[in-house]
Structure formats: structure tokens, C-alpha cells
Structure 1
Amino acid sequence: MRKIPAELCVKCKGSKYLCGLQYCPIIERFRSFVGVLQRIDVTEKKVDGSSPPSVLVGERGYPKVRLMFNVPPNVFGDEAKNYENPSGWWGRQTLYDIIRYRSGLLSAVKTHEITDPWSLYEKEISISAISEKPVRYDVSLLSTPDVRLKFDGIVMPRGPSAPAQEIKINDNSSPSKKLEKLIFDDMRASEATINAYLNGEDVYKLTSAMSLGLLGLKKNRKLVPTRWAITSVDSIIGSYLLSKVKENTRWVDSVEVYHASYLGNYFHVLLYPSNYHSSWIEIWYPFSLWSYETTIVELNENYWGNYDFMDGGYMAARLAVLEKMNRDKIQSGFIIIREITKEYYAPVGNWHIRETVRKAMENRIAKFDNLSDAIRFVQGRLKDQKVDLFSTNVISTAIKQRKIEDFFK
């Protein structure tokens, strides 16, 4: 969570709001835990509820990993969708709402070998994870839940957890016909992912399918930790879209600026006339997650798709911009500038980056004749004017870079 100084919490005790928030996240988290535990039969250690669906594959212990079946106790039917609904949350739910939903899930945990996805399929466990509608689980626990909220910078947070003795599925799962067909097809995972995406499947269902070993050549299928699957799906689809974007001979005819914000994250995206080249700038402000002082992170990707380092947030944002370029049949360079403020006090996963940049690409706010003017415009909109965009390597390089046609003027 947000790194609030301990001495501030001691002085405040959740009543004076000295941290600047309108409520105490520590108290609200505890209240959520209590709410979850009140809905659990602690005597028989049983949980009944409809999963959104939500099944996660952990990394610890790899190649023997933990499967986490997330269930809101005594919540059934369509109401359970609210507990994991990235595209439906955007612009409607606050950070507090999302944490409340996520901490209202109980994770029933089972261990499983990554090389055996088939037994999960036979029990319809993995199929339930890609269902179009919530699936009712009947869970028997081995012990009372560990009441800690688990946060992750890539995967969505989850609530209390406990080892599961038995998990029964009491509903018929309903995956899309296209995705169900691909489960039986013997094709590479990347090919299956692109095929499903082009047929309208969203990236969240594809991540679940990838994570639970439902895609790929049958002899090679295995479970994939959810963190890895999220970035893998973004990368696979992004690489496909990039290949299509490079076929476009039309460039944007000016520098276009797009913008959207959500959950204390503010995004500006600049498209400029050029062959494909992308840049990513993250500005972490004091008391935002992971940082006590203003910190800037930069990343470049060249025409051939080589980038400085792997970053899940960048891959999610890149996908959204490539979707826009592919729709418009254009090729361009682009710069994504992300500002993270203290409003973003708890990590809720990369989904909000993907969805916010998608929204940004529907909201052009300005056009300019040159990149320098566009940067100055964005500079004037930053939350902290002490940050100098022109001093970053990404932007100074983009502005100084000369094109071939410049030599013929």
C-alpha cells in the first residue's frame, strides 16, 4: 500500500486523516476482512458463493504452483461479476470500491503441478475460469483464513486465503464458443491467442485461458503463473498488431495529443509523424506507490520491436495504442507519459493502465505542427511543473532525431 509514515498513523489512529486521505485504508481493510469472515462458516470451514469467475496461478514453488480460487462468500449470480470486472469498473468504481470488492473475495488455495493442466480440465475447474458468467463454487477449507490482503503491482489484489480441502463446481460453465473450440485445437498458444482476439475475445479471458494451460500445442500445455500470462497476452497481441501497423504507409499528418485519467493515474499519449517507434515515461510523485520522492522511469522501443527492458505496464499501454493505430490504418511514433500521484495509494493490477490508455485513445485533446510544441503543451499540464520533460532522454532524442526527408529539403 501507499507508504504512509508509521509515526503519522500512530498520531492519527484512523480518526484525524493526517495522511490526506478521506478515510483510513487500514481500518477499511480490516472491516472488509471482518465482513468476509462473518460470511464463512468457521465451524465447518465451508464457503459457498459464485466466482466472478476468478482463478489465479501463483509463482511460488514453481513448478508446483498454487491455484487460488477466488469466491465472495454468500454472493451469487450476476452480483458476483462486480468482484472482477476491469472493463466494467473503469470510470465507475473508485480505488476504494475496487479494494473493497477484491478484499471481499476469499481465496481457496490448492497446489498443482504445472505439467498437469488436463486433470483441471477434466474436473471443469479450468473451464470455469473462462466462463462468460459467474460460476458457483462449494468450498471446504482445511483451516480458518489468513486475514491479509494481498497486493501485487500486476495482478489484482485479493482478500483472505486458506488452503482448500475440496472444491466443487455447482454450475455449468459457459465459455464462448470460439474459445471453447480453441481448447480442442492443436495450435501454438500465440496463434490461438491472436485467433481468439480477432474474433472478439477480450484479453482478460485470454489471460485466464493462457494461465490455466487451455491454449497451445497439446503436448506442450502447462499452467502459467498469472503474472506471466498477463504480460504474455499483451505482448503476443501487441506484436501481431505491430506487424499490421508496419504495413500501413500513411503517417499521422500532425502531432496528436490524447489524454485520460483514472485512479490517480494521468496519461498523455502523443502520436507524431514517423515510422514506428515508441517511448514510455513514468513519473512517480512523492507518496505515490513505491516512491518517497519524484522518480522518473524511461523506456524505448525501436522499429524492430526491441525494447530496453520488459515492463508489464508498458506492454498493457502499448497494446491500447497499437489497437488505435491498427483501427485507423496509420503508422506513427508515439510517446506515452504516465503520472502516478498519491491518489493511487494501493496497486490494483495492470488492467487499469490498459483500460485508461484505451479511453485516452478515444479522447484527442490537441493537435500541433511539431513535437516540441506538443511536449510544451503536455509540460504545462503536468501535476508538478518541476518535472522537465525536455530533459528526459526519451523526449530529447525524439526531438533531435532527423528523418531522411529532412536532408532533401
Structure 2
Amino acid sequence: MYSICAKCQGRKMLCGLPRCPIVERINAVKSSLFRIRGREIFGATPPSAVVGEAGWPRVRVYIGEPPEVTGDAARAYDDPRLLWGKDLEEIIRLRSYMAFGFRQTSRPWELGELPLLAVSERPVDVEMRLAKDPVQTMKFDLREKPMGPRAPLDGVRIDGNPVVPRALERAMADDLQAGEAAVELYRRGVDLYTIQRAFALGLLGARHRRRLVPTRWSITAVDVAVGDSIADRVRQMPEVAQTLYGYAEYLDNRYLVVVAPGPLRFFYLERWIYGGRAAEIEVVEDPRGRRSTMDGGYEAARLAVLEKLASLGRKGTVSIVRRIGERYYVSVGNWQIRETLRRLQLRPLDEDYRKYVQLVERDPLSLIRTPKRLDEFL
């Protein structure tokens, strides 16, 4: 079940309150956002691209850039590894300064060089000419980063050359299925977020079947494909010798990860806390990789933990609890889940975790079955 706030988004007042406290906090932040003025915008795309969902297969394709910010300085506005560690308001302010021009199409090849801008290894200076003044608002999504002001593109002048990873250039010329191409690119060291954008922009897959994929879908699709590939390797590894524990927190998201000796399987619990209420999402994955439900947050967390297990050369039964507090009043995207858990350290028992040993070692499912017993920790 999704959080009541995630379902409502401040429109249906499902909580019964007369006004949405989340929307009020967003509006307070919006009052201090940057205002993009004029229709001609020059800057560098970090790179940044978003493929919309409404009206698919004919969708809006957005290219973003911070005005008057050029060169490597533009990376700070979009790269999850540089955004991580900043507070929520700073992330919103950075993203509010990103202007997005869009074109609407169902055919990737009609976009010209715009997809190459989005998969460049370095920022590219771009002059966008907008057809009208940009809409001064912020758009928030559970999976993707917030989007700032946007308007239709009237023209684009590229002042520089995109540098596309060689492995990606080969994949673009190949006929591999998109999921297989994503896995191969990851194995060759291509940045995961570049792969996600390439997937969304129809640069991968059988050439006669390539199409635009909404960014929300492409993020999870790449997480699943890459995660499944890593899981296939991890299943062949020896089990962890003892239970390992990890804890991390960021933006009022708290994560507890436990890896116990046993086959590779996953138990995931996500708890949204607001106004004294809690809503939960549960995902259980069996040793064959079959999920009880598909959830983008789970897939991002799973990928990060699988990367850690692969680096340790060990497998185990994994339990993940994510507790989302009231200070995380808007989502900045699944990247914060992935990047936070990538920084989490798995280690044997110490005093911080001793009181949870019996709970976890007796039955890893108890992390899912009795979440109230973790309230003190979370």
C-alpha cells in the first residue's frame, strides 16, 4: 500500500485535514525560489533530461540547464552524487534554478542531437530559445528529481561537443535488447544514471523497436535489469559467516539493513510517518528473485545492497527497513535511496545493534511481521 500522502499529493485531502500541511510547506519554500526570466537561456546541461509520462507514446522530452552556469559547475544541479548530503531546501533551490525546454514526440530520432546532450560524460554549453515564458513552478515526483520552470522549445544551439562513452556508442549501434544493453554498459563501467537516461531516450534496444520510455519507468527498469544481473552472481557466492548490520539516514529517511546467513532473498518494509499515522509498503523476494510486488523504492535499495554484497563476495538473507519521517515532506527521487545505501557500512554486531540480535536472528521475516518492535530504533 502506498502512503496516503503519496496517493493524495495534497489534492484529495484523504487525511481529513482542512489544509494539506505538506502543500503549505512546499508553498513556503516556493516563495524563495529563483525566478527564470526571458525566453533565451544560456548555460550548460549537467547533463539533465526527463521523458514525461502523460500521453505516452507521444510524450514531452525535457532538457534542463541552469542559466548562466557553464562547465563543470553545472554538475552540482543534477548529479545525485553531488546532490547527496545537501538538505532538502537546498536541493529544491538548486532544482528550481534549472530551466527545462521540451519537445513533444513519439519518435526518438526526431530529437536530433538532444539525446546526445543527455548522455554526455561532461556538461555541454547550450543556448535554448523557448517558445514562451517558462512556467514558474516546481514539479515533484516519487522517483525523479524535482523539475523547475519549463516551456516548449523553439530552438537549440549547441556550443560544444557531447562526449558519449565509447561503450554507449557501441550499444547505440547494436541490436541488443534494452535490458541486456543496460547490464552490459554497467559491467563496462558506464555511469548508472547515464544508462537510465539512455534507456529513457530510446538510445538502447533493437533498432527497429526503439521508443521513448518515461523516466519514471526507465529508472526502475534499469535498477531491475542491473540488480538481477548482480543477483545472479551473488547467488553463487558463499554465505556471510555472521549476521551483518548497517544503519544510515538522510533527509529524515532512516535505513536499517540486516544481512543474515542464508540464501539470497529480500524482505523490505517502508514506513511513512506523518501526523502520528503510518502507512506501509512491503516487498518480499524469494530466492529465485520473484517479488511479491513491484516498487521503485525497493528496487533502488535492492541494487545498492546487491552492489555491497558483490563487493564482499558473499550472499545472505537481506532485510531492509526504511522509515520516512515528517521532515521529508516532498520526494526528491529514488536516487537518495540508492546513494544513501551505497554509503552504508555493513559490519558485525556491536553495542548499537545488540538489542536487535534475537529479533533478527530468530526470524528475518520478523522485520516485516512485527515492525512495531523496531519503533525505538527507527
TM-score (norm 1): 0.80
Aligned to 2:104: 111
**Distance in 1 of aligned mates of 2:219 and 2:58:** 20
User: How far off is 1:186 after superposition?
Assistant: 2.2
Aligned to 2:228: 239
**Distance in 1 of aligned mates of 2:253 and 2:88:** 11
**Distance in 1 of aligned mates of 2:230 and 2:367:** 31
Q: 1:345 to 1:220 in 2, by over 3 A?
A: same
Aligned to 2:210: 221
Aligned to 1:279: 267
Q: Name the SS of the counterpart of 1:364 in structure 2.
A: coil
Q: Is the 8 A contact 1:285 1:294 kept in 2?
A: yes
2:256 corresponds to 1:268: yes
2:352 corresponds to 1:364: no
Q: Deviations over 1:159-181 (max 9, x none)?
A: 11112212222221012222222
* Residue from 219, 225, 243 that aligns with 1:230: 219
Q: 1:391 to 1:167 in 2, by over 3 A?
A: closer
Q: Deviations over 1:131-152 (max 9, x none)?
A: 1111222112222121111000
Q: 1:301 to 1:204 in 2, by over 3 A?
A: same
User: How far off is 1:377 after superposition?
Assistant: 8.2
2:185 corresponds to 1:179: no
**Distance in 1 of aligned mates of 2:19 and 2:280:** 27
2:309 corresponds to 1:320: no
Q: 1:278 to 1:24 in 2, by over 3 A?
A: closer
Q: Deviations over 1:171-230 (max 9, x none)?
A: 210122222222122222222211111111121000011011111121121111111100
**Distance in 2 of aligned mates of 1:200 and 1:82:** 21
Aligned to 1:101: 94
Q: Is the 8 A contact 1:258 1:366 kept in 2?
A: no
Q: Name the SS of the counterpart of 1:66 in structure 2.
A: strand
Identity within the alignment, %: 34
Q: Is the 8 A contact 2:244 2:346 kept in 1?
A: no
Q: Is the 8 A contact 2:77 2:83 kept in 1?
A: no
Aligned to 1:29: 30
Q: Which amino acid aligns with 2:171?
A: L
User: How far off is 1:367 after superposition?
Assistant: 5.9
Q: Which amino acid aligns with 1:48?
A: F
Aligned to 2:375: none
* Residue from 116, 134, 143 that aligns with 1:154: 143
**Distance in 1 of aligned mates of 2:169 and 2:32:** 40
**Distance in 2 of aligned mates of 1:211 and 1:354:** 19
Aligned to 2:376: none
Q: Is the 8 A contact 2:43 2:66 kept in 1?
A: yes
Matches within 5 A, 1:43-58: 45-58=39-52
Q: Name the SS of the counterpart of 1:298 in structure 2.
A: strand
Return 5+ residue gaps in structure 2 as ranges: 373-378
Q: 1:156 to 1:7 in 2, by over 3 A?
A: closer
Q: Which amino acid aligns with 1:268?
A: L
Number of aligned pairs?
Answer: 355
Q: Name the SS of the counterpart of 1:307 in structure 2.
A: coil
TM-score (norm 2): 0.87
Q: Deviations over 1:321-343 (max 9, x none)?
A: 11111222212110001111112
Aligned to 1:393: 369
- Structure 1 or 2, whichever has the larger Rg, is 1
**Distance in 1 of aligned mates of 2:20 and 2:49:** 37
Q: Is the 8 A contact 1:256 1:366 kept in 2?
A: yes
Aligned to 1:299: 283
Q: Is the 8 A contact 1:151 1:158 kept in 2?
A: yes
* Residue from 323, 330, 335 that aligns with 1:346: 330
Q: Which amino acid aligns with 1:36?
A: R
Q: Is the 8 A contact 1:213 1:223 kept in 2?
A: yes
* Residue from 65, 79, 89 that aligns with 1:71: 65
Return 5+ residue gaps in structure 1 as ranges: 10-18, 379-388, 397-409
Q: Name the SS of the counterpart of 1:69 in structure 2.
A: strand
